[in-house]
Amino acid sequence: MRIYTRQGDAGMTRLADGSALAKVHWRVESYGQVDTLNSHIGLLVTCLPDGSDDLAGKLQLIQQEMFDLGSELAFPADAQNETLWQVSEQWTLRLEAEMDAFSETLPALRHFILPGGSLAAAQAHVVRTLVRSCERQLVALSHQEPLNPAVLPYMNRLSDWFFVLARVLLQRENKPELRWKKPAER
C-alpha cells in the first residue's frame, strides 16, 4: 500500500468524513498541533529514567487520549456533537488526582523553575509548552466552530500535569530544580 496519495499537493486535505478543507484551516491546524504534541510525548517516554514504568504507562495513556482528541478534531464543524466526542471531564479529574498524588512527595513550590535539570525533565517542559500552544489553537478554533466543552479544561490541566511531572522526574533522578533568579541575584 502506498502511503502517499498526492491529494494534498494543492494545499487541501480530507477530513474524517471525506470533505475537503484547506491545510491552513483552524481545524486542520488544531489536530496538526495535537499530532506534534503526541510525538513529543513519545519522545519524553524514551527519555524517562530507568524504573519509570509507572510514568511511561501514564504518558502512553495520554498519547492514546491525544489520538482520540485528534480524531474528534478531524471531523468538520457540522459533525461536532456529543456522539462523536470522546474527551471527557473524567480525563481532567484523573489528571487532577494524579497531580495531587505526585505533589504529596514534592517540596512546596516557593520559586519559579527554569526548564531543564535533566533530559527527561527538560522534555517534560517542552511538552508542557506544546500543550499550551495546542490549547491556544483550540481556543481560537472554539471561537470559530463547535468544540467539545471538555477539551479546554483537559488541555489546561494537562499543561499543569506536565509541569508537575518535570518536578517529579527531577526528584526521581535526584537532581535539583533550576531556580529562576531575579536580575539582582544573578
Q: Look up residue 12 and give its three cell numbers.
A: 487541501
Closest to 66 in 3D by CA, of 155, 157, 162: 155
* Percentage with pLDDT > 70 across the chain: 100
Q: What average pLDDT is seen over the chain?
A: 95
State residue 169's pLDDT score: 98
| Gap between the Cα atoms of 124 and 162, Å rounded | 6
Average pLDDT rounded to a whole number, residues 92-103? 98
Q: How far apart are the first and last CA of the chain?
A: 58
pLDDT at 100 over 90: yes
Cα separations in angstroms, 133 against 88, 97, 128, 156, 159: 20, 24, 9, 11, 10
What's phi and psi for 147, nearest 5 deg? -140, 140
- Given a cut of 90, whether residue 5 has pLDDT beyond it is no
The answer to whether 137 and 25 have CB atoms below 8 angstroms apart is no
Q: What percent of the chain has pLDDT over 90?
A: 87
3 band by pLDDT with thresholds 50, 70 and 90: confident
Answer whether 131's CB lies under 8 Å from 159's CB.
Answer: yes
Beta strand ranges found along 62-136 (DSSP E): 113-114
Cβ atoms < 10 Å from Cβ of 112: 11
Please give the domain boundaries of the chain with CATH numbers for all domains. 34-179 (1.20.1200.10)
Q: Is the pLDDT of residue 87 over 90?
A: yes
Q: What's the rounded Cα separation, in Å, for the pair 111 and 127?
A: 21
pLDDT at residue 102 is higher than 90: yes
Amino acid code (one letter) for 11:
G
Q: What is the mean pLDDT of residues 76-91?
A: 94
Q: Name the residue among 94, 102, 75, 81 with its Cα closest to residue 15.
A: 75
